[in-house]
Amino acid sequence: RIALIHQDETLTYQRLDERANQVAALLRDRGTTDNALVGIMVAPSFAMIVGILGILKAGAGYVYLEKALPDERIEFVLGEAKIAVVLVDPDVKQRVAALGVDALDLEAESVAYPATRRAAVRDAPPRRAYAVFTSGSTGAPKGACVDHRGLVNHTCSFIENHDLDENDRVLQFASPSFD
């Protein structure tokens, strides 16, 4: 079945799962540990969803970074969240690498990565799913983390409250950096 539609292209659940597993394996091999935060600076696309799912499958959480943010803000978030790896589109790879982190071109690095088997599920304490950074009332951004349980609870509640099933489609319209 089709999992994603973007413009005139589609991606099946099987291919989405395989690609997310490739990203997860790449991140684990690059030293991403459970509960770490991984940055993602990718335009809305299949790659963005693949990257987010791959980060989650690696046992980490993600921080979505808008390309339009000034470098000073990105550098602050990277430091505050202790981010060592950022999944990027090719057009921002040099920019992000110049900020002192490992900038991985999501398409080039993960598509060539051999691991397509399902990522192992590990028993662990609650993990962060993602972190968002507010504008901050004091002028300094403040990070807030959401764990997997909170995200799953929200998703189940949304499905139940809107009576969604496998035949429904949901439009993603808000920025991934917005909670």
Whole-angstrom distance, CA of residue 65 vs CA of residue 42: 8
What is the C-alpha to C-alpha distance for residues 113 and 130, in angstroms, rounded to an integer? 24
* pLDDT the model gives residue 138: 74
123-177 pLDDT per residue, tens: 666 788 899 887 767 777 788 888 878 888 888 898 899 998 878 877 765 666 6
pLDDT value for 67: 94
Q: Residue written as tokens 């991985």?
A: 104
Residue 11 has pLDDT above 90, yes or no: yes
Give 113's pLDDT tier (boundaries 50, 70, 90). low
Name residues whose C-beta falls within 8 Å of residue 175's C-beta, 6 or more positions apart in sequence. Answer: 64, 66
Q: Collapsing DSSP states into helix, strand and coil, what is residue 4? A: strand
Contact 134, 144 (CB under 8 A): yes
Q: Give tens-digit pLDDT for 16-56.
A: 999 999 999 899 888 998 889 999 999 988 999 999 999 99
User: Which residues make beta-bridge pairs with 144?
Assistant: 132
Write out pLDDT tens, residues 65-103: 999 999 999 999 999 999 999 999 999 999 999 999 999
> What was the pLDDT predicted at 114?
65
- Say what the pLDDT of residue 120 is: 61
User: What is residue 53's predicted lDDT score, i.e. its pLDDT?
Assistant: 93
